[in-house]
Structure 1
Amino acid sequence: MITRIDLRGRALDGSRSSTEQTDPRALVPRAELDVETALAVVRPIVEDVHHRGEAALIELAERFDGVRLTAVRVPEAALAEAAEALDPRVRAALEESIRRARKVHADQRRTDKTTQVVEGGTVTERWVPVDRVGLYVPGGRAVYPSSVVMNVVPAQEAGVGSLAVASPPQKEYGGLPHPTILAACALLGVNEVYAAGGAQAVAMFAYGYRDAAGTVVCRRADLVTGPGNIYVAAAKRLLKGVIGIDAEAGPTEIMVVADATADPGVVAADLISQAEHDPLAAAVLVTDSEELADAVVKELEVRVAATKHVERIREALGGRQSAVVLVDDIEAALVVANGYAAEHLEIQTRDAASDAAKVRNAGAVFVGSFAPVSLGDYLAGSNHVLPTGGCACHSSGLSVQSFLRGIHVVDYSRDALAEAAGLVVALADAEDLPAHGEAVTARFEDREG
């Protein structure tokens, strides 16, 4: 069911005695995701939305989602109705998810800071929220009200003044997005929601659109965030610059670093939980215990057969992107983990907290047996919109910071500028940009007469 990779005896970090050196970044294969090829598919879609607006969005919904819309924007009454009809247990869970997410994200707020560089000269860093954001919530194989929470809460806590949500129209719900998505929007106080999916939703946020009468319905956004399929990722790549983006999200990933103390049933359940998302989902176990590896494989056989999405999970676990990796010790396992830079990294070892502190590259780290990834998906308070495809070595997950811009405000007095003038001129001359220096010295020229 799942590939086994044996890295025992290899000099993973370049410091071991083995003559074979291994680049930790290339130890575990990833799913092939050809965004460049997808660009050819999404380019005409994006152009169509750009030039024809609502008419294009309606036609594309019929083509891709099998529904004929009369309007793309969801009526506010439909949001209220969805919230009212929401299962009480689901409502309670969503409200608690929102509460915990707000608690964590509120602590991420930035404060302005003024630094006195010299007497009479200050630089203030102001943190200013993006004016308007478009938040995308996928709606393919599963329903993701949790992604509404994870996108909306940090934007609201950052102070974004205008935000809109888009999610694909659903044929069984009369062309509206799934009612649980709508209910989550209502619980968060979001009243601007659009029935648009895929690349066309990203294009809608990038360019905005007018209705047939020429009235602006959706204003263009400055930033688009949220996960999606390969076509969403391709549209983000194509439109980057027209809009800001959070990331080009790829298939979900879980890596579990575990030793002989881990419960094989728990490890297997956690691997399956992410494989459930998508046939391209990655599920990787890294362990120094061959006995644990064998036990986890046996547990996978039993648990996969008993779960709902058997075919999808088997395909994900059997893909090149999933593996059981054997290493010499947990130190080597952490080298593999830091090289792989997983979206989700679980540490299930004897000294889990200590080992987790050694992790430098991961979207989110889950410490010990009682912090599964699925807790982070819904109720930990952390954000589940995280970097994939190894991007965790240079990028962060979605946070309040994603929706803020730092602006430096420079305030110098005449005397402070005069003190710096000669140094500015020296550097300007060194770069052969004399006008830069003259822009300073001109302020001290005697222009009388």
Structure 2
Amino acid sequence: METNCILPEDLFEGILSRLQVRDLLRLRCVSKSWRALIDDPCFIWKQHCVQYAMHKANGDVPLLLWKRLSSIEGPPNQCSLLSKQQGYDTVLNWIPDVERDTYSILPNDPDIHLQVFCRGSSNGIICFEFNAYDVEGLGRDSFTCGLWNPASRDFKIVAYPHVPDQLTRGHFCVAGFGFDPLSNDFKIVARTAVVSDVILVYMVYTLSTDSWKRVHEPCLLGSNASGEPSTMDTCLNGVYYWTASLLQNENCIFRILSFNFSTELFRFSDPPQEALPLVYRANFEFMYDIGLYNECLALFFTRSVFGVAGASVDIWVVTQFDDDFGVPLAWQCLISIKTTFELGPSFRAQRIDGDLLFSTYFDGLSLYNPTTGMFRNLGVDCDFCFRYVGSLYPLSRRVVQR
């Protein structure tokens, strides 16, 4: 590619890839060749990988924190970005940014209450779910998705999928969001219920085609099981993971549900049996979630006893995957943590510097240092926590920041 530059092309691209998105959007105006390079999908992928590696080298990949509405009439959502500035933790309020970039797109109707959920972040793109309720807050009127690139200020509303009459339109929800590295594309997984048989139906949205299609559901998935939207990053190497509970013969069976974005196939797998409690006792609370730990897929188990301060948190990581579908085959318990919280903590994320982020009932978010065994309160709270590094991936339009 002709860049009108005396530098070798590889060196020139390497220099540009170390620049922030804001600077690159401005450099698109230099010439047609520069614009073509910066808009090239290969360069966009390279620039994001370089930026992510730079954040890792600095010991900090920013975390997007999202606090959902407690009710239809509840307080506004909290959207923050947790990062390190000169070695100190900094929490940046992102609500003004969300409102600024969605103001001209979302409907502004005083008779409609809009409930917003953050459903994931991947390669600099954030996925939102919008549920519109009537003025009385008695029922949901519609479902809409939104994709947002905060760095370039792109925002795209994803149209409601056209579904057959037997599907329950009002019960659609986003189950997962991620990036398919093989097709270089973003995909949204959503589900709804069939009215007559009360079974779940899954549909997948592809950004490049701007369209939905129905995919084959996992053979065991029915009215008593579903992959609940994750509260943290669960997409690894183009495969999205959920925890699911199957009700079989009046017994609740814990499984792991995976979806390969490339093949668009579901698979079930078993969790580490050693991590599951043998007997569910009275006053005994057992919680679990799935996410990433040290760039590996992990399960987080919390055990606590009602009325007794303290809880134990065990972290299990996958040591072997199936090569064809990315299904977990083997697990290892990597770390076990004892806490003194009055109520059991919920794991939210791991910082690149090794600190673990927990959400507690009374204190909000706390950072745990595995080396010192100390907890430090951050003064904020969240229900969803996803890694975020800005990117050039376009959605609908480009807005050059000034």
The answer, yes or no, to whether TM exceeds 0.5 is: no
Larger helix percent: 1
TM (norm. structure 1) is: 0.24
TM (norm. structure 2) is: 0.26
Tell which has more relative contact order, 1 or 2 (C-alpha 8 A, sep 6+).
Answer: 1
